[in-house]
Amino acid sequence: MRKKLLGAFTVAFAVLWFLPVVWMLITSLKYETDIFQLPPIWIPSRITLDHYKVVMERSHILRWFLNSVVITTCVTFLVLIVDSLAAFAFARLRFFGRDVLFSIVLASMMVPGQVTIVPLFALFSDLGLINTAQAVILPPLAGAFGVFLLRQFFLGIPLELEESAIIDGCSKLGVLRHVILPLSKPGLSALAIFTALGSWNNYLWPLIVLQDQTKMTLPVGLATLRGTYATSSYGVLMAAAVISSVPIFVMFVFMKKYFIQGIALTGGMK
Amino acid sequence: MAKAKRSFYRSFKENLTGYMFVLPYFCFFGLFTLYPILQGFFMSLTERDIFGFDIRFVGLKNYAQMLTDQRFWTALKNTASFTLMDVPTNVVLAILLATLLNRHFRGKEISLSMVFFPRLLSISVIAFIWLWLYEPEWGLLNHYLSFLGVGPISWLRNPSVALRAVVVATVWWTVGNNVVLFMAGMQQIPTEVYEAAELDGSVGLHRFFRITLPLLRPTAQFVVIMQIIASFQIFGQVNIMTGGGPAGATRVLVQYIYETGFSYFEMGYAAALSYILFLLIMVVSVIQLVWLRER
């Protein structure tokens, strides 16, 4: 009995916790006059897509969305490639200065991105890359976390498996591709989720380097709507928020297990 | 030394292969991590405008300027208050929720999903949702609080409330992440420990305080440190919801760095402020290393 009660309490709490998300969706579908109504209308008797129309027509939201998708995809793929090459070298190859280099990489995990935005901005202006997607894609490739995570993963793979591949005449790159990577799927997917999430939600750096409306990513573009609509129409803001959340929601529903495992894994390793 | 030398010459090819594998990463690492760290320190010793004209070496002037800069001290204080409010709330709530969710009951999966989902939303979406909930006249929060005889509160326009309002929104956003971490930590506690405790008659709250909590210590340490470091860097919520206002009540360090560097274009001073933030995070990281080694 007590067990059931605690369970019911937990579900009720979770529903309450999720309610703001539901409220966002409901508000976005309401007529203006129903939005500003007390007591609040939880189940509107009539709904409209007007706010969605306004967002689509008067902002670059689809463009921002596309920019975010392209940037997140590029960052994630490049991080996976660059980091698995480096992690493989740190885990399996012997070369002069390896351990010193790895310590430097490890130490850099203590330096958060916020600390380097000012010199980075100067660097990207010198390179003439302000207002370009490259400016958002390149800096995350220097992140140390993925190298660390994948190295840990690679170290856990038994050496014998590679030895037979080497005897068969496989090169080092071949060993990485055909032996190590296929065995590291949990680590790779955890890193992919960690990287993609970070890139998708990145705000400060894109805010600084992307000034052109058509170049902006979703979080930065959305934020510009706040000034235009915050006082006049919450319906429009909520519609914009829903549009940018739906893909995340769909992905989460289908890949819930990976998301949660990914967080537990990347958290446990760090 | 002799050994190092030998290993250097032993296999030139082996070394070369290693370097080829790390080369792509170190190109990015050098350009976007090492170089900015050094360049940032150099910039913090200069005064210059955003266009790069007229760079003057001014020594430690920027650092000295901080001592008398009231805005800097307020930003530091706001960041500290934010951290002191966010970290305990976040960690305690996460442990409680993880304990509740780590049991077997109908709706367990969906409950975890509902608590976790906000973490996946982008910061602008979080800010919009809470701007609307906090709306003084028509927002849900003031409406329901009025039944308790509270309010109406101008959540984001009242200087003594605004920072707390940002904390609430942040906890809502991030707690799911920590719940998942604590649940993973709880699942690592061997069931034998609980069985033995049960034989000793340790159940319920007693069991939670005597067994679960102490064994969760490594996870808790990790979460606390990560949460402190994340709190030091809080920016998006503030930037979108309040812009640092009202009257600077929510202007945290990163917001101040952003304003200094990219609204007032005082790049040298912004670089110096960043270095102070860097220093603070280093201190926390070193404390972490010592704290974790103590175990």
Q: Which residues contact A182 (CB under 8 A, 6 or more apart)?
A: none
Q: Where are the domains of chain B?
A: 63-294
Does 1.20.1260.10 match the CATH number of domain B63-294?
no
- Contacts with B236 from chain A: Cβ below 8 Å: 203-204, 219
The interface pTM score, or ipTM, of the predicted complex is 0.89
Per-residue pLDDT tens digits for A20-66: 999 999 999 988 888 888 888 888 888 889 899 999 988 899 999 99
Residues of chain B neighbouring A90 (CB-CB closer than 8 A): 22
Nearest to B236 among A39, A204, A248 (CB): A204
DSSP code string of B19-61: HHHHHHHHHHHIIIIIHHHHHHHHHHTEE--TT--S-EE-TTH
Residue B201 and residue B191: Cα distance in Å, rounded? 15
> How far does A215 lie from chain B, in Å, by closest CA?
17
CA distance B162 to B242: 8
Alpha-carbon Rg for chain A in angstroms: 23
| pLDDT tens, residue by residue, B265-294 | 888 899 999 999 888 888 888 887 787 776
Across the range B243-255, mean pLDDT stands at 89
Q: Is the model more confident about B245 or about B25?
A: B25
Report pLDDT for A38.
Answer: 81
Quick one: pLDDT at residue A264?
Answer: 79
What's the pLDDT at B49?
Answer: 54
Among B111, B130, B235, the residue with its CB nearest the CB of A14 is: B111
Pick from B40-44, B53-57, B84-88: least confident:
B53-57
Q: Which of A76, A246, A119 is nearest to B39 (CA)?
A: A119
Q: Which CATH architecture has domain A49-269?
A: Orthogonal Bundle (1.10)
CA distances from B90 to A16, A17, B93, B224 (A): 17, 14, 5, 9
Residue A194 has pLDDT above 90, yes or no: no
Q: How high does pLDDT run on average in chain B?
A: 87
Domain boundaries, chain A: 1-48, 49-269
Please answer yes or no on whether B127 and A226 come within 8 Å at the CB atom: yes
Which one, of B123, B171, B131, lies nearest residue A24 by Cα? B131
Q: Please determine, for residue A270, whether its predicted confidence score (pLDDT) is greater than 60.
A: no
